[in-house]
Structure 1
């Protein structure tokens, strides 16, 4: 069976073969060393939000070969032109396009619900234009699902269960277990935002904008990082309070899913997310007198902002075309 598998890998040029050299005195056939051919295929990753978009081209190991990130309105033509440039510059065939969307995606690829602040994005038109122009499959999935899968597939990671929480225009989650994203019965699992009601205080950009009394579009990374390093009391109080409010929802994740890692990401600067994590108590639901569950590692992802989500989305075509995993095909029409 291994010989047949290697033959198939070789047919698609997914592996490199190299004969080892025998040491003096060794006999027999030299062992065959196999390594992944990162450049057998490349894939495109995309993320779009109001005022920003990012496009990446990645190899099979998830290494970024080229990236474009722009502060611009979500106009289809410039985005498609940037995708065209990345495809034209690729030395390898393109497997497809992966799009991390700010939405719950149905199992059939329909958009069940788009985050309210991003509802005006031309997601359907963009997907249709990309598919028609490049004759490539377009896969899309909830951004939190994309990052959860990417984090779990990182080289030299051995997570048996990983939960990802994103803090951006809302609060969302993704669970990776048993070598796949856990999607639930209707592709709506891990919706941790429901445990932190929108009507109350929650660690999101709209909530912080209200707290600071400034427009949402002012909350750039540079602006927030400057406030943080200046020791702005309003910001620091908000971080500490919202971190404490994350304790019970994330402790619930520990109790229900028992992951070995909880990864935090979103559209905040790293230093803000790290301070927020320091305020989280994963033992908030421990019962006095009972042995507590083993707590997971709590860390901040490297995949922050639009560029990080585009990088994570580049895994969608690879997962669907080569790994045999489910990645929803883009189909934005909502059922009536």
Structure 2
């Protein structure tokens, strides 16, 4: 088809490398800052045996290498999971975050301003003024379980089992199976969702949900074909087609770390289960309206890609793809 000559895999790959992916030097600086923070806190722990901060692990999209470029100075550049040991069975998350912020301030001492440490509803954000990087330190309650298992505490006090190590192994296993394009497909879909939310602020689709939809298609394929990670346009269409044709009504369960029968049904319209925690529906709290809005948007996007594929000119094809990724999508 004409549009496929204009916007094909190489075009999408070049776009991802120039506009979506975190630049290599910035990624290196993120890792350096995260490692620096970890080392300083871990040194402090070693010097204070009674300290309740047990260990730290790099986590989130940066650790999984699925992060995309930040826009407008918002959001964080990297996440660190801070494993805390406590005997308090009734944790107040705001108190815990204040305590963690104070510990971070102690570690850095006079080298940073107090305003550089800001608790949010789930983390302590640290701004590195010299580089502008932002790191979220996320508290995890630690009870000595293996594989870095512990409990996140949400703003309403709910404890959610997680494991940084197992999540990293989960995505690495699928990347090893599918190839280098696996993470790139995730990043492109994250960029699509981010651009979509600029147009429709009510659209809900968290990054972790995107990662798990791609992981599911990596496991089972779609329409009799494996996930097409060597053809980004085809892979994006597969994920969108899955969303549209299933309506996100089909439960997704991963059995890497638990058996499928351990999952219990909930009243949520969408069921995509955390691969580490059979009690955590990643789409918990999404409403039926949220489901319909996301499915409708995926259908609209599929129609746009089809229009691009049938475009008579390069300009028409590029304009169509700009509806997915915004004006930064290249025209040359």
Same fold flag (TM > 0.5): no
Normalising by structure 1, we get a TM-score of: 0.23
Normalising by structure 2, we get a TM-score of: 0.24
Which has the bigger relative contact order, CA under 8 A and spacing at least 6?
A: 1
- Kindly indicate which of the two structures has a greater share of residues assigned to helix: 2
- Kindly indicate which of the two structures has a greater share of residues assigned to strand: 1
